[in-house]
Copies of this chain bind each other. A is one copy, B any other.
Amino acid sequence: MANRFVRKLSGFSKLTPVEIAALERETAHPRKFAARQDLIREGDRPGPVFVVLDGWAFRYKILPSGTRQITAFLMPGDACDLHIGMLAEMDHSIQTATQARVATIARADMDRLLNDHRGIAQAMYVSQLTDEGTLRAWITSMGRRTSIERVAHLICELYARAHGIGLVDDTEFSLPLSQIILADALGMTPVHINRVLKELRLAGAMTLSRGSVLILDPGKLVQIAGFDENYLHRRLREPS
């Protein structure tokens, strides 16, 4: 059974058995990290590419005032930027949210993967465009959606992404993130997140408890969020 990374990339491009084997070879020796550990910090000189195989992590920035803004969640299968090694320094930090298994791919190995395997390159580039689309969707949420719409939209996104890598059990999936982390991702206070979650529960749309989301009414949740999954680019382009 392929690991989550292979599974995710397979969703973006048809991979040959040789390509799958190459990816699994490069991620065969992950390292274990405890929760709340920085993989890399803003200002650090970038090293190898990180690939999260199990557990959750997030990208974040700290402001002069000390407040934190989370800019992305990394779930199993997600990787940081391919060309990270070209930069002089990181412009953000990455931290584990839970215990996690993380593989690293050295710059030279990454270049070889991209050059030798057309399918891998294609999948990774689409994956990168999806990450950018997600950043744009987050900006749109923060700028123009109300707090309840924002929360609903994030849950829809995480559900769709978890579904893509086989992490969803019917209408339920594991979301081991505290309300404090959700607040820092959505630009809200933990207090208000709590009230909004209560509202979504009372509306019969969804519940979040003990680290797991239960979707009660998918249609209602999507409608509240105004969710359109096109930015996740799960549909492959057909040859013209």
A: which residues have CB within 8 A of B? 42-43, 45, 59, 61, 63-65, 67-69, 71-72, 81, 83-84, 86-89, 91-92, 122, 125-126, 128-129, 131-133, 135-140, 142-145, 184, 186-187, 226, 230-231, 233, 235-238
Contacts and interface: CB of A to CB of B under 8 A. Distances in A.
B64 A143 contact: no
Nearest to A226: B64
Contact of A133 (B88, B91, B184): B91
Nearest to A235: B88
B87 A126 contact: yes
A237 B44 CA distance: 12
Contacts of A139: 69, 71, 135, 138-139, 142
Contacts of A92: 133, 136, 231
Given A61-B140, A140-B63, A135 B133 contact: no
Q: Identify which of A122, A140, A238 gathers the most chain B CB atoms within 10 Å of its CB.
A: A140
A46 to B, nearest CB: 8
A196 B43 CA distance: 31
Q: Identify which of A67, A86, A233 gathers the most chain B CB atoms within 10 Å of its CB.
A: A86
A73 B204 CA distance: 39
Closest 9 CB pairs of A and B: A143-B187, A142-B142, A91-B231, A135-B135, A88-B237, A69-B140, A83-B125, A71-B136, A91-B133
Contact of A186 (B61, B72, B128, B143): B143
A84 to B, nearest CB: 7
Nearest to A123: B86
Contacts of A69: 139-140, 143-144
Nearest to A71: B136
Contacts of A128: 83, 128
Given A131-B132, A132-B132, A144-B187, A125 B230 contact: no
